[in-house]
Amino acid sequence: MNLLTELVAFVVAIGVLVVVHEYGHYSVARLCGVKVLRFSIGFGRPLLQWVSKKSGTEWTISALPLGGYVKMLDEREFADRPNSISPDDLPHAFNRQSVGKRIAIVAAGPIANFILAIVLLAVVYASGVSEPAAVVAAPPAQSVAAQAGFQGGETVLAVSAANGNGMEQVRSWADLRWKLLSAAFDHRHVVVAARDAHAGSASSDYSLDLSHLESKDLDDDFMSRIGFEPGGGTLRIAGVEPGSAAQQAGLQKGDRLSAIDGHPVDSASSFITYVKAHAGKPVQLQILRGGPVPDVNKDARKDANKDGSLADDQSEAQNNAANTATATTPQSLTIAVTPAIQRDEETGQQVGRIGAALSAQGPSVEVRYGLLESARLGANRTWDIGVYSLRMFGRMLTGEASLKNLSGPVTIADYAGKSARLGPSAFLSFLALVSISLGVLNLLPIPVLDGGHLLYYAVEAVTGKTVSDRWQMVLQRAGLACIVALSAIALFNDLARLIHF
């Protein structure tokens, strides 16, 4: 079922993005009086096609849904058949339009993708979305967060603005991550205003030094690298594997973890990291047993079960009857458990594992904005992501950032499926992100892409002369080689993530 969800979500995402991009070209071409011969979604053999009686455009849906194109009337394609174009159609040929109109037509595709992203993000902001609250878990020692003074349990309220003027409000964990990522990319010091859980309404300022981080550190694990994990929640045992170290130690489903070796824990990742680092070494778990136990989200447990992070259904069934807490007052216990030594499939190193599934239930906030504010935020976030993408691509070219940041269709399909399962808001946010990426990619000055054509027209606008056919042919081949190389790297990264090599 997950594979089907990913496939359907991927096809829908690519279909929407391609239609919007190509319709941008089409609509501006029609406004400029250019005759459009074909509007195709996909490549290869046509599956469906029809001709508009009004415009004469042939609309096509083709077999390979990984792109599309708009074919406009162009005399250069009929160089060997100069009389095959009707004299009435000659003024409507693309090549006869002014350089300004040609620039507008080519730029319309990426611009349409940016407009789509703004609209989608504005819809998400206006409709409201439930996100993890910006509550910080206890950071690892010597991490950037720990050096700044964070101890765990603080709620982040604001971060100093990029322009140095005042503070910008932080509404959720995702908002905090984006603001810190932007600051790290600029190698800036930032001031974070946060309220301690025991300090009432008073807040304190924490100075974060993000200037020393390298570009390779700015990946999906960026927040963990600087010591930030979502906190403030309840960490529970969701299942215990038969014969595991957790079962032998006496851990039970529903137990609430409060500390490990005296260190408070309120995030699954920090707990797992600690256990992995203590392979074969006994650790002391402080737990609460009994009392009201809210149900664990079944859908989330099923998803996690497929990647091995939860015990299987049979194991759950074996634990259900014996592990039901009936006491009304929680019982505080200390349990010693020795993590078993296992080989990590991704790193090949020996790590610790206790064989217990975790369920983290953290605080969340409802993030919602007014219509005008949503539109403004959508435009700002689209601009920020676009600029960040360009800068990251530039750093990959100079070797400052890893090429592993490139993703291909397999990763996109995976994230499409995951976001679709999370709900409409997550899927729309994913669509907006990919739409921005598609717009930025097409604006790169690489021949065969829109940006390459815009480069030709910019040269023509400055010099008054078109780029010669010979040079266009040479640059076209070079551009095609670049695209093939980028596609190969992205596919390799996809396979590396899929089979962990």
Q: Which contacts qualify for 202-207: CB closer than 8 Å, 24 or more apart?
A: 203/157, 204/149, 204/154, 206/148, 206/149, 206/150, 206/154, 207/148
Task: State the pLDDT at residue 374.
Answer: 92
Distance, in Å, from the CA atom of 410 to the CA atom of 417, rounded to the nearest integer, reads 11
Smallest Cα–Cα separation from 232: which of 336, 365, 356, 323? 365
Phi/psi for 123 (5° steps) reads -65, -45
pLDDT of residue 305: 33
User: How many other C-beta atoms can be found within 10 angstroms of the C-beta atom of residue 484?
Assistant: 10
And the tokens for 257? 């973890």
The one-character DSSP state at 138 is P
Give the DSSP H or E segment for 390: helix 371-398
The answer to whether the CB of 110 falls within 8 A of the CB of 76 is no
pLDDT value for 292: 59
Distances (CA, A) of 183 to 159, 194, 222, 380, 467: 10, 17, 12, 16, 41
Regarding beta strands 364-367 and 129-132, do their DSSP bridges make them parallel or antiparallel, or are they unpaired? antiparallel
Q: Which two tokens stand for residue 82?
A: 């100069």
Query: Across the strands, what pairs with 331?
Result: 289
Read out DSSP for 424-454? HHHHHHHHHHHHHHHHHHHHSS-TTSHHHHH
Q: How far apart are CA 364 and CA 282, in angstroms?
A: 34
How many angstroms separate the CA atoms of 274 and 262, rounded? 12
* Per-residue model confidence (pLDDT) at position 295: 41
Enter the tokens of residue 436. 């921005």
Residue 217's pLDDT is what? Answer: 61
Each residue's pLDDT, cut to its tens digit, for the chain (501 residues) gives 567 777 888 888 888 999 999 999 999 999 999 999 999 998 888 889 999 888 889 999 988 877 889 999 988 877 667 667 888 888 999 988 999 999 999 999 999 999 999 999 999 989 987 888 899 888 888 888 989 999 888 899 999 987 677 888 898 888 898 888 888 888 888 999 998 876 666 788 999 988 887 766 666 678 888 888 888 778 888 889 999 999 999 999 989 998 899 887 877 877 888 899 899 999 999 999 886 544 433 333 333 333 333 333 333 444 444 444 444 677 889 999 999 998 876 667 888 999 998 887 778 888 888 899 999 989 998 998 898 888 888 877 777 767 777 777 777 888 788 888 878 888 999 999 999 999 999 999 888 889 999 999 999 999 888 888 788 888 888 888 888 888 888 888 777 776 655
Domains of the chain: 97-128+370-501 (no CATH), 132-230 (2.30.42.10), 234-356 (2.30.42.10)
Dist. CA 60–CA 253, nearest whole Å? 56
Spatial distance between the Cα atoms of 425 and 419, rounded to a whole number of angstroms: 8
What letter would DSSP give residue 192?
E
Ramachandran area for residue 54 (φ above 0: left; ψ -120 to 50: alpha; else beta): alpha
pTM of the model: 0.72
Active site residues: 22
* Neighbouring residues of 398: CB distance < 8 A, sequence distance ≥ 6: none
392: phi > 0 → left, psi -120 to 50 → alpha, else beta; which? alpha
